[in-house]
Amino acid sequence: MFRIKRLYTFILQTFLPLFLMTFFICLFIVLMQFLWKYIDEMVGKGIELPVLLELFFYAAVTFIPMSLPLALLLASLMTFGNLGERFELLAIKAAGVSLIHIMRPLIVIISIIAVGAFFFQNDVLPKAQVKMWTLLYSVRQKSPELEIPEGVFYDGVEGYNLFVKKKNPKTGMLYNVLIYDVSKGYENMMIIASDSGILKPTPDKKYLFLTLYSGESFDNLSSNETPARTDHVPYRRETFSKKEILIPFDANFARMDENVMQNQYIGKDMKELRSSIDSMNTRIDSIGSGFGKNLQNTGYFTLYKSTTKPDDNGTLPDSLKNVASKINIDRIYSNSPLLIKQSMLDRAISRAENVKQDYEYRSLVTQDEKRILRRHQIEMHRKFTLSFACLVFFFIGAPLGAIIRKGGLGMPVVVSVMLFIFYYIIDNTGYKMARDGRWEVWEGIWLSSAVLLPLGIFLTYKAVKDSAVFNRDAYMNFFRRLIGKKEKRDITMKEYVIEEILPEKALNKIEELDRLCNTFLSENGSSRQSYIKFWTKGYDKEMIYEISGHLEHLVEYAQNTRSQEIIKILNTYPVIRHLLLYRAAPTKFAGVIFSLVLPLSIPAYFAGIRQQKQLRKELKHILAADHSLYELIVNNENDKKNEIKKNNSSPVL
C-alpha cells in the first residue's frame, strides 16, 4: 500500500497554503496593473457590471503566466525560510536527510504544475486571450456616456461642441446653451444659441434628441462660385421659439466578432501555430523567389530584357552576350548636346528612384510577412518558457530560503521582487530583440531562462553544501584580500617570561628571514611587472606565504624577552598580507584569458602593481628591522658576556 512519508506531508502542508496565498496576491497585483493601464478607456462609458466582470475574469486568466513564476519563487522562498528560521530545517538535516531529499515532494508538485502550465498555455490561454482582447477592443469603440459639464465646452458628441452655463440635475434642463455644429465641415458650420433646452437619448440609444427653446441659429450658405471677397460670407439667420435636432450618437455596447482575434497568433494552439508558420515560410520563400527571378530577368536599367537562361557552361547566347557591348552609353552621352545630357540625367535619376522605391516597397512587404512570422514563432516558444520558468524559479527560491533562513513577508518578498524584476527586464529585452528581428526568436525568448538557470544551479549547489553564500564576514575577508588593509602590530612586554629567547636561535631565524626576503626581491626585481607578465606570472604566493610564516614565528619567539628595545623593534615589523592580486591568475592560461577581458583587466592591473610595490617596500622594511634586531641581540649578548667577565675578574673581599 502506497503511503506518503510524514516528512513529505509536512513539507507539502507548509508549501501549498503559501503557494495559493502568494499566487492570488501576485494575480491581484498584476490585474490591478492591467486596470490602471486601461482605466481611462473604461470610465465614463456606462459599461454594465457583468461586462466589466467578464473582462476582468479573462484578464486574470490571461495574466496567470506572469504571476505563476513569481508565486512559486515567493512561496518556495518563504517555505524554506520559515523552516530555517524555526530551526526545523536544521533538525531535519541533523537526522541525516539532505536538502534534495527534503525538496523531493515539492519537485514532484512543481513538475506537475509545469506540465499543467504547458497545457494551460496551449489550450486555455489562446481562448482567454481572444475573449479578453475582443472585449477590450469593444469597450474601446463604445461611445462615452453623455455627461455635459457646466461652464466649459463639451466635445463628447462627434461633430458638435456644446456649452451649457447651468443645468438642473433633477429635470435635466439646460440653460444658456451654445452649440457649434461642425458635422458638415467647418465651411458649413452652424451656430445655435438658445435660452434653454433638454437633451435625451432615443429609446434605441442610437440618437440624441435635442429640444431647444427661445434661440437663434446662424448657418453658413455654401456657394457654387467662389466670391471675389472672402471677408463677406453669406449666412442664414433663424429665430425660433422651439427647435428640435436629432443627433447621431450610438451609445450601445456592441461586441466585436471573435473570429477577427481567432485568426491572430494569440488565438492559436501549437498545431495551428506550426501550420501557420509552415505556410508563412512557404509564402515568404515564394515571394523572395519571385523577386529574385524578376531581378535576374531585368536588364541593365531596362536596356534589354530576356528570359533566356544560360547554357550548361554558364554563358549566354552570342546574340544576347553582345547586346550591351553594341551600345556605348558613354559615347552617346558625350556626343549629345547639353540639353539632351540634362534630359538623360533627369530620366536616369527618375528611373533609379522608381527602381529604388519599387524594391523598398518589396522590402516592406517581405518585412511585414517576416514580422508576422516572428510573432507566431514567439508565441510558440512561449508555450514552453512558462513551464521552464516555474522549475527555474523553484530551484532559485527553495535554496535561497534555506540559505538566508528568513521567513514571513519581509526579506522573502524583497528578494523575490528584486529577482522577478531582474527576470522581467531580461525577458522583455529578449522579447523585443526577437520581435524586431535583431536576434533569432529562440535566442530572445529563452534569454531570461538561460540567464537564471546558472543562478538556480549555483544556489542549489551552495545550499546542498551548506555554503555561507550570504555570510558578511566571508565577503569582507574577500574584499580585504582583494583591496588590502594595512595592519599594525601591538606587542606588549610580558609580565612573566617562562622561557627567554636564546640569542643563537633568534639570530638563525633572523638570518633565514633575511635570506628569503633577499631571494624574493632578487627574483622579482625592483621595477613593476609588465601587463602580460602580471597576468601570466605575477608573484610567487608560496614564497610569500613562507616569508610570512617565518616572520610570524620570529615575532612570536622574540617577544619572550625582558628587553623593551626588542619589543619596540618587533612592533615595527609589517604584517604580510595575502592579497589576491599578488598573482591574479592561478595558471598561465587563465592569465591570458583574464588579460583579454577588457576593460576590467586594466584597473585590476594598476591595482595589482600598486599592491606589489607596497609588498616590496614591506620586505625592505623587514630587512631593515632584521638588521636592527640582529645588532641589538648581538650587543645585548656582548654586554652580558662583558659583565660576566667583569664579575669573574673582580677580587673577593
Q: Are 185 and 174 within 8 A, CB to CB? A: no
Burial grade of 12 (CB within 10 A; 0-12, 13-18, 19 or more): middle
Q: Are 400 and 82 within 8 A, CB to CB? A: no
For the chain, how many residues are written?
653
Would you kindly state where each structural domain of the chain is located, as residue ranges? 6-142+382-464, 153-248, 275-308+322-380, 482-644
Task: Return the C-alpha cell found at 349.
Answer: 535619376
- Chain centroid to CA 460: 23
* Cis status, amide bond into 227, omega within 30 of 0: no
Q: What is the mean pLDDT of the chain?
A: 81
d(CA 244, CA 239) in angstroms, rounded, equals: 13
pTM of the model: 0.59
What are the φ and ψ backbone dihedral angles of 408, each rounded to 5 degrees?
80, -160
Q: How many CB atoms lie within 10 A of CB 353?
A: 10
CA distances from 552 to 422, 515, 560, 572, 620 (A): 48, 15, 13, 13, 16
CA distances from 158 to 43, 148, 174, 181, 611 (A): 18, 13, 19, 10, 76
Cross-strand partners of 196: 175, 213
Cross-strand partners of 243: 212
- Cβ contacts of 486 within 8 Å, gap of 6 or more: 574, 575, 577
Closest C-alpha to 23, from 58, 73, 59, 57: 73
d(CA 540, CA 517) in angstroms, rounded, equals: 12
- Provide the edge-to-edge strand list for the sheet that holds 173-181: 153-154, 160-167, 173-181, 190-201, 207-220, 235-248
Tell me the pLDDT tens digit for each residue of 454-513: 888 888 888 888 766 666 666 666 666 777 777 888 888 888 877 888 888 999 999 999
Burial grade of 131 (CB within 10 A; 0-12, 13-18, 19 or more): buried
Long-range own/partner contacts, residues 158-162 (CB < 8 A, 24 or more apart):
158/183, 158/248, 158/249, 159/183, 160/247
What is the helix (H) or strand (E) element at residue 190, kind and residue range? Answer: strand 190-201
CA distances from 62 to 20, 27, 58, 445 (A): 18, 10, 6, 18
d(CA 568, CA 505) in angstroms, rounded, equals: 20
- Specify the pLDDT at position 545: 92
d(CA 475, CA 267) in angstroms, rounded, equals: 50
Q: Are 543 and 520 within 8 A, CB to CB? A: yes
Tell me the pLDDT tens digit for each residue of 328-374: 777 777 888 888 888 888 888 888 888 888 878 877 777 888 888 88
d(CA 74, CA 10) in angstroms, rounded, equals: 19
Longest dimension (CA), the chain: 156
Q: Are 238 and 217 within 8 A, CB to CB? A: yes
Closest C-alpha to 77, from 393, 387, 450: 393
Q: How many CB atoms lie within 10 A of CB 320?
A: 14
Long-range own/partner contacts, residues 608-611 (CB < 8 A, 24 or more apart):
608/534, 608/538, 608/581, 608/582, 608/584, 609/528, 609/529, 609/534, 611/484, 611/579, 611/581, 611/582
d(CA 545, CA 553) in angstroms, rounded, equals: 12
**Residue segments in the chain with a per-residue pLDDT below the cut of 70:** 1-3, 41, 43-46, 140-147, 204-205, 221-233, 235, 250-258, 260, 295-327, 407-409, 467-480, 649-653
- Specify the pLDDT at position 515: 92
Output b/e per residue, 136-151; b: 16+ Cβ within 10 A. Answer: bebbeebbeebebeee
Cross-strand partners of 166: 175
Tell me the pLDDT tens digit for each residue of 537-584: 889 889 999 999 999 999 999 988 888 888 999 999 999 988 888 888
